[in-house]
Amino acid sequence: MKPSQTFVLASFFMAFSANAQFIQQDSVNLSPVNELQRDSVAVWISNPTAQSTEILDVWTMPLYGNTLATVRVPNAVIPSGDSVQVWVAFTPEHNVMHKLPILFHLSDERGYELLTLKVQGQWSRSYYQSTENKVQSALRGALTTRLGQGYNSLSYSIARDNMYGTLDNHNGQVECVYTGRSATFNTRAGANANNINCEHTFPQSKFNSAQPMKSDIHHLFPCDASANSSRSNHPFGIVTGTPAWSNGGSKRLGSIWEPRDVHKGDAARAMLYFVARYGDYSNFFVGQETLLRQWHVQYPPDSLDRLRNDGIYSLQNNRNPFVDYPQITERVSQWSGTFAETTTWDSHRSEDTLQFALRGSGYGERKFMVVNSGTETIYLSNLALSHSSISLSNPSNVTIEPGHSHMVTLTYDATINFTGETLSYLESTASGFNQVTIHVNSSNSFSVVEPQVTSELLVLPAAGKVLVYPIKEGSQVELLAIDGRVLQSLRASEDASKAQPMHILVNSQLAGIVRVTDGPDVQTIKFIFTL
């Protein structure tokens, strides 16, 4: 008699109760990962219920609007008493500790299950180590300190020599950042002869031409003399109407100066650097910040910007962080003026209507998730249920830190047809409160998901070995631990193909997986041996 897969697994899942854990761990911890890496981990997801279920959807919380974790579900259908493996991959953008909730939406009456991915993001440039896990004023202060540490202040002459000679000299040509006009030279004298001079993106008049600001190349660029004169010390902005001056895409109207598109991002990053390094002299930056942040995102740094940053670092011993890691602006809401930290209140709820199972007997359990996807701490309180046959099995008053989540577990009488019932609670933060109402109804539409049987393998125990058949000649036969680690790998010989079972040592394994690969065909089956 050929045993089914369910038969092989029966003894393993005998110990699971009706309330057994769906995900075998509440959280997954990865080793520190930098922005150039991608790390992944396999997670076993079990189905201890009496019927098959299916993973309908997976939701991962974004960070600063970006989805950093991806989940691959090779097999969404989980038979009763079985488990499947999913892969969680992660690439950070910020050097902060990530605690990312991942919600699995199930087809059965439980609704949702939660996994938390915990990983320390790092930046590959050790220069920014002091900014790790810092946001808002703490990050701004750390950057100011770091950009000044070990700073090599150049003379204004040496700064221009390097700018004209190497940093902004490409194949002998130096180009005006505002007009696009280029000329052939590599010295200060050559610049003067070609009517090119040095543009201070943050105008000198605002800081009285003092050092080291005057010679800091991170905000200096070669510029046509007439364009430099026209810009003067005017703030950046958008020119609407007929400009009083224009050349090469740059233009001025009144006191508003708009650089050509190709330089908008560079100008923004030069201004951001200056303010992060030295502060906002004469409050020149504060009125432009919103627009400059937009330009910074709209016109990101390119390879020439990064090469220039490296060159300046070799001279001044400091870097422009907005070139290295443009995303750093996401962690500071304000770079100028008296700091006033802004917070966002943003909560994600797994669903607005809960469907309870309706059946002839017993009790049911429904999971409901609240995720704090903002930057303010959320306090859940006053959880109330409109029907006495519905209860909460976990605390009703809870604090949810930014990036964290809370699972509300509801237990109910499955014989009652709930119609129009509610779960209500209060979300409060330092800035206000929000009354939330979740609707509750009963449904008998939860269907049994029938798994697809793809394996024809037979696995039987035999004196410390596993008997596997049928096996084709040349097939790769592997013994895996229950967590997916390959313990043994064999190639089936000609003898194994003659309707003979193949023996694999189990090394005292009481549970494991056999995987047989024959070209593109892969079959797997789990085995459990009881003592």
Question: How long is the chain?
Answer: 531
Please tell me the distance from the alpha carbon of residue 252 to that of residue 229, in angstroms, as a whole number: 11
**What mean pLDDT value characterizes the chain?**
84
3-state secondary structure of 386: coil
Q: What is the mean pLDDT of residues 355-366?
A: 86
Residue 211 has pLDDT above 90, yes or no: yes
Q: How confident is the model at residue 68 (pLDDT cuts 50, 70, 90)?
A: confident
For 118-168, how does the pLDDT look when each residue is reduced to its tens digit (9 = 90+)? 899 999 999 999 999 999 899 999 999 999 999 999 999 999 999 999 999
Q: Which of the residue ranges 250-264, 374-388, 487-501 has the most confident prediction, judged by mean pLDDT?
A: 250-264
- The pLDDT confidence band at residue 376, using thresholds 50, 70 and 90, is confident
Evaluate if residue 521 carries a pLDDT over 90: no
Which pair of structure tokens corresponds to residue 278? 């030295």
Cα 446 to Cα 362: distance, rounded to the nearest angstrom: 15
214 pLDDT tier (thresholds 50, 70, 90): very high
Q: What is the pLDDT of residues 253-306, one digit of tens each?
A: 999 999 999 999 999 999 999 999 999 999 999 999 999 999 999 999 999 999
CB-based contact 124:36 (threshold 8 Å): yes
pLDDT at 13: 25
b/e for 441-451, b at 16 or more Cβ within 10 A? ebeeebeebeb
For a pLDDT cut of 90, what percent of the chain falls above it? 46
Which one-letter amino acid corresponds to residue 87? Answer: W
The predicted structure's pLDDT at residue 173 = 97
Residues 6+ apart with CB under 8 A from 258: 236, 237, 238, 239, 250, 251, 252
Contact 366, 356 (CB under 8 A): yes
Residues in contact with 508: Cβ distance below 8 Å, sequence separation at least 6, in sequence order: 464
Bigger pLDDT: 346 vs 321: 321
- 499 pLDDT above the threshold of 60: no
Q: Output 21-27 pairs: Cβ under 8 A, ≥24 positions apart.
A: 21/46, 21/48, 22/46, 22/47, 22/48, 22/104, 22/106, 22/110, 22/113, 23/104, 23/113, 23/114, 23/115, 24/83, 25/115, 26/114, 26/115, 26/116, 27/115, 27/116, 27/117, 27/118
Instruction: Provide the token pair at 88.
Output: 């969680």
Check residue 450 and give its pLDDT. 42
pLDDT at 404 over 60: yes
Mean pLDDT of 354-381: 86
56 vs 468 pLDDT, higher one: 56
Domains belonging to the chain, first-starting first, are: 1-129 (2.60.40.10), 136-331 (no CATH), 343-446 (2.60.40.10), 458-528 (2.60.40)
Q: Which carries the bigger pLDDT value, residue 436 or residue 516? A: 436
Three-class HEC string of 495-526: HHHCCCCEEEECCCCCEEEEEEEECCEEEEEE
Mean of pLDDT values over 377-387: 90
Round to whole Å and give the CA distance between 290 and 272. Answer: 11
pLDDT of residue 372: 86
pTM: 0.75
Q: Which residue has the tokens 């050092």?
A: 211
Judge whether 320 and 273 are in contact, CB under 8 Å: yes
Averaged pLDDT for residues 358-384: 86
Out of 107-116, 180-189, 378-387, 428-437, give the one with best mean pLDDT.
Answer: 180-189
Q: Which two tokens stand for residue 270?
A: 């030069």
pLDDT digits (tens, 9 = 90+) for 76-128: 888 887 888 888 888 899 999 988 888 888 888 888 888 888 899 999 999 99
* pLDDT, tens digit, 9 for 90 and up, residues 221-243: 999 999 999 999 999 999 999 99
Position 65 pLDDT exceeds 70? yes
Computed from CA positions of residues 279, 283, 289, 295, in that sequence, does the dihedral angle turn out positive or negative?
negative
DSSP state of 139: H
Read off the pLDDT of each residue in 360-364 and give the average, rounded to a whole number.
84
252 pLDDT higher than 90: yes
Q: How confident is the model at residue 39 (pLDDT cuts 50, 70, 90)?
A: confident
Q: Is the pLDDT of residue 16 over 50?
A: no
- Average pLDDT, integer, range 183-191: 97
